[in-house]
Every structure is written in C-alpha cells, then in structure tokens.
Amino acid sequence: MTKKIFVGVLTMGLLVLVICALVFFGLQYAQTIDENQEALRGEAYYAVAGLEMGGVDYLKKLELPDGSPVRITWIQADGSVLYDSDYPEQSANQLENPEVREALQKVEGTSIRDSASSGDSTMYFAIRCPDGTVLRLSRPVSVAAYAFSSVSPVLWVLVLVLLISSAMAFSVARRVVKPINSLNLEDPDPAGAYPEIEPLIRRIHEQQNTIREEAESREAMRKEFSANVSHELKTPLTSISGFAELMRDGMVPPEHIPEFSGDIYRESQRLIALVDDIMRLSRLDEAEGFPEAETVALDTLAEEVCQSLQPIADKRGIEIRQAGTPVETIGVKQVLHEMLFNLVDNAVKYNVDGGKVTVETGIRDSRPYFAVSDTGIGIPESEQERVFERFYRVDKSHSKTIGGTGLGLSIVKHGASYHHATVRLESKVGEGTKVTVSFPKQEKADA
C-alpha cells in the first residue's frame, strides 16, 4: 500500500511538473518569436531610412558582420529582385512569398517558412518603401533552441523539485499508511486511526463477532452431532454384539437362532441406513459430489416414490395417492428423490393404521412445488421448529418402535437449501402433518 500511495503521489507530482514545463516552454517560445519579429521590424525601418538617403549604394556599403544571420532583399513592386545581400544572382519572382504580398497591401508583412534558397526555416519581415518597392529582412529561425536554452535552467530546477517531491511523497506515504499497518485486525482499536477508517473498523468488529458466533454455533452443532452419532451407532452395534456373543457362547437354543439372526440382520440394516443418511447429509453440507442439475419432472418422481413405498404402506392398510398437476423444476434428481422419499416414508411411519398419504405436485405463485400430507399422529406446535434438527425425535419411544435414523427431515431441509427452495410444515396433533417444498421460479417449470 505504501508503494501504491508513493507511486500515485509521485506520478501526480511528475504530471504537474511536466505540464508546467510545457506551459512555460510554450510561453517562452511565443515570447521569443515576438522578440525576434520585433527586432527584425526595427532593423527593417532603419534600413528603409538608409535606403531613402543612399539608395542601393547604402545597402551595398552596409557592412554586416561575417556570418550575420540577417539577410536583406530589395524587391520591386512587380516581384523582381533589385538587391540580395546573400544571393546576388537571385532572380525568382518574390510575389509568390506571403510576406511580400502582405507588405504591398498593408505596408508590413511577416511570415515564418522554409527558405527557397537555403532550405532553412526562416523568419521574414517585409516593409513597403515610399517609392512602392519592398525591403525585406530575414534570419534563420533558431527560436526553439533559444527557447529551450532559456527554459533549461528552469528544467534543472524542476528536476530538483522532482527529487525533493519523491522524498516527500515517500515520507507522506509512510505516514499515511502507518496507522493502518499498525491496526491489530484481531482486536482493532479506533484510537489513533483515521476517522475515515472507523466504519471499516466497525465492520471488522461486526464480522469478527459474526465469525465467532458462527464458529461457536458450528462447534456446538459438531459436538451435538458427534454425540448423537456416537449414541445412534452404539445402539445397533451393542445389540449386534450382544446377540452374537450369546450365539457364540451357545446360550441360544437352536430353535431361537433364526430369531436372533433376524434381530442381528435388522440392527445391521438400521446401522447401514444410519451410515447412508450421515453420508448424504455430509455431501449436502459440502454441496459437492452431485451430478449436474437437470430438468426433473416432479410428478414422475412422486409416482416412482409412491410405487416404491406402497408395499410397506399396504402392510398397515395405508393408502398412498398422487394428486395435483404435472410440473418440472431444475435440480439434482438424486437429491430430489431422497427428499421426497423421506417425506413419504415419514408420512407412512407416523401414520395410523388405515390412514392416508397424499403426494401433491403443481405450481403455486409461479413456483413449482411438491407436498406430502398424512392423517397421522401429528406434531405438537412446540416441537415443530426442532423436527428438522439431526437425530431429533418428538416421541423417542415410538420412534424406536417404527425405526428410522432421525435424519430424514434433516436431509429434506439440507436438500431444499441446496436447491434454494423453502420448506413449510403444517401439523396438528391427532389430525396429521403436511410438508410443502417450494422451488424458485423457473422458466422451464410448466404446469
């Protein structure tokens, strides 16, 4: 950050110095042009006065220093050359030159152009004499070099200023950044900091509090989950170990071995189901390992789930029926199947003998949804907010009788979160329960 501030300040200072130098050079250049033209004008008027008194002999006798940059040309009104101090044989018609035409029209004429004789950039001043002829003075333009030489001392001063500015910019950058670098991000203290960064410090405090609360919540959930998993795994493992130990020690009569083997099988299946549900939850927590989302027909999915659970429902005389309209949504079919399967499975398990389960699909408020309702035992209002917690059971004794891992509704909740869907639970004790999962509005959803 110090480097960025230093570079920024130095670049700005350098840009200002360059602009000032260009402006100063431009002003000096314009001033030098004006001074040279004024000098030529004065010399031209002196030459005209001498020409009136002595004629062309005055111009021929006029002694110019060797290497003098001033060139004198006397021109007739028709453009022919009467005298040229540098090119005596000059014969070109001078009416083509703008300064000569301007002098014939307005008495005085000036121009800066490349000389046809020497090829050098030249400054011209022409004046019309009383007899109608034109006297012209010219000299090579060395204005740029002169202007640069005039500005060069200033440029050295600017370089010195730039060096001083660099040192000051670095010092300023360090002073600006020091209070920021000295902040303790673990526990930032606004004292001594800039007022401008106080909102940042407050946000850091808020974020730290949020992170701390989330970390504490996650740690509490982890401990609770670990304890629940340990308990849930230990129960079937203890049963399996106990049954196996009795059979190993020959304490089970031969006629009871099939019964004990059946118990071991059921507990093993319960253990497998528990591990499977834990793995599903873990994958939903990490939101990875699933295939890409696709268009899923919720009504077809509901039909598949109803058919797979109908044999279990038939044992208790429970009717499973499908209602609503065909509808599609975008999602992971495997996860959607697990969500709907767990809802229908719970509706069967916690129903009364001879009860009903209804699986409904459709669109409500432009949102695809599926809903599972039953005529079962219902959930007390005080327990409804907790039923989606992992391993939470309303009636633990009844839950042991009917089986289950206690993770079904947690899978539904996490699956809905994965699909950005909402879950709504409605239940009354003794009347039944209804769970509705509504998905986001989607163009491909079709009633």
My answer on whether 351 and 236 are in the same domain is no
My answer on whether 296 and 434 are in the same domain is yes
Q: 308 with 341: CB under 8 angstroms?
A: yes
- Edge-to-edge strands, sheet with 81-84: 81-84, 71-75, 134-140, 121-128, 108-114
Instruction: Give the separation between CA 30 and CA 18, rounded to whole angstroms.
Output: 18
pLDDT in tens, 342-386: 899 889 988 999 999 999 999 998 899 999 999 988 888 888 787
Mean pLDDT within 399-417: 71
Mean pLDDT within 225-248: 72
Q: Does 444 have pLDDT greater than 60?
A: no
Query: Poorest-confidence range of 85-89, 127-131, 151-155, 378-382?
Result: 151-155
My answer on whether 294 and 431 are in the same domain is yes
Question: What residues pair up with 114 in beta bridges, in sequence order?
Answer: 121
User: What does the pLDDT read at residue 87?
Assistant: 81
Q: 340 with 371: CB under 8 angstroms?
A: no
My answer on whether 324 and 368 are in the same domain is yes
Instruction: Give the separation between CA 13 and CA 56, rounded to whole angstroms.
Output: 59
Q: 205 with 188: CB under 8 angstroms?
A: yes
Instruction: Give the separation between CA 122 and CA 125, rounded to whole angstroms.
Output: 10
User: What does the pLDDT read at residue 244?
Assistant: 83
User: What does the pLDDT read at residue 394?
Assistant: 58
My answer on whether 301 and 405 are in the same domain is yes
**Domain boundary, last residue among 86, 116, 146:** 146
User: What does the pLDDT read at residue 403?
Assistant: 55
User: What does the pLDDT read at residue 242?
Assistant: 82
396 half-sphere exposure, CB direction, 13 A CA radius: 3
> Would 11 be classed as within a structural domain?
yes
Q: At what angle do helices 143-181 and 2-61 cross, to 10 degrees?
A: 170
**Domain boundary, last residue among 111, 146, 181:** 146
Which of 335, 310, 329, 312 lies closest to 321 in space, CA to CA? 310
> Would 432 be classed as within a structural domain?
yes
Angle at 283 between CA 361 and CA 210, to 5 degrees: 100
Q: 21 with 13: CB under 8 angstroms?
A: no
My answer on whether 237 and 223 are in the same domain is yes
Mean pLDDT within 44-70: 75
pLDDT in tens, 273-321: 667 766 766 666 665 666 678 899 999 999 999 998 998 899 999 999 9
7 vs 129, more confident: 129
**pTM, to two decimals:** 0.47
Helix (H) or strand (E) holding 424: strand 422-428
My answer on whether 265 and 390 are in the same domain is no
Q: Does 189 have pLDDT greater than 80?
A: no
> Would 207 be classed as within a structural domain?
yes
> Would 189 be classed as within a structural domain?
no
> Would 184 be classed as within a structural domain?
no
| CA-based torsion, 407, 279, 284, 206: positive or negative | positive
- CATH number of the domain bearing residue 384: 3.30.565.10
What residue type is assigned to position 209 of the chain?
Answer: N
User: What does the pLDDT read at residue 446?
Assistant: 43
Helix (H) or strand (E) holding 322: strand 319-324
My answer on whether 118 and 213 are in the same domain is no
Provide, rounded to the nearest whole percent, the portion of the chain with pLDDT above 70.
72
pLDDT in tens, 94-131: 888 999 999 999 999 998 888 777 777 888 999 999 98
Question: What distance lies between CA 349 and its chain's CA centroid?
Answer: 50
> Would 171 be classed as within a structural domain?
no
> Would 252 be classed as within a structural domain?
yes
Provide, rounded to the nearest whole percent, the portion of the chain with pLDDT above 90.
19
Helix (H) or strand (E) holding 127: strand 121-128
Question: What residues pair up with 183 in beta bridges, in sequence order?
Answer: none
User: What is the three-class DSSP state of 324?
Assistant: strand
Question: What residues pair up with 33 in beta bridges, in sequence order?
Answer: none
User: What does the pLDDT read at residue 70?
Assistant: 81
432 vs 154, more confident: 432
Mean pLDDT within 127-149: 76
Instruction: Give the separation between CA 404 and CA 34, rounded to whole angstroms.
Output: 102
My answer on whether 113 and 199 are in the same domain is no
User: What does the pLDDT read at residue 88?
Assistant: 79
User: What does the pLDDT read at residue 185?
Assistant: 62
**Domain boundary, last residue among 115, 131, 146:** 146
- Which structural domain, as residue segments, surrounds residue 135? 2-146
Residue with tokens 């994958």: 283
Q: Does 182 have pLDDT greater than 70?
A: no
My answer on whether 223 and 122 are in the same domain is no
My answer on whether 56 and 98 are in the same domain is yes
My answer on whether 113 and 214 are in the same domain is no
- CATH number of the domain bearing residue 106: 3.30.450.20
Query: Poorest-confidence range of 39-43, 141-145, 262-266, 380-384?
Result: 141-145
Helices (H), 182-256: 198-248
Helix (H) or strand (E) holding 422: strand 422-428
> Would 118 be classed as within a structural domain?
yes
State how many domains the chain has. Answer: 3
User: What does the pLDDT read at residue 445?
Assistant: 39
Confidence class for position 44, pLDDT limits 50, 70, 90: confident
User: What does the pLDDT read at residue 387?
Assistant: 79
Q: Which range has highest mean pLDDT (1-10, 29-38, 281-290, 363-372)?
A: 363-372
Tell me the Ramachandran region of residue 324: left when phi exceeds 0, alpha when psi lies from -120 to 50, beta otherwise: left
Confidence class for position 171, pLDDT limits 50, 70, 90: confident
Q: 1 with 175: CB under 8 angstroms?
A: no
Instruction: Give the separation between CA 123 and CA 190, rounded to whole angstroms.
Output: 68
- Mean confidence (pLDDT) of the chain: 78
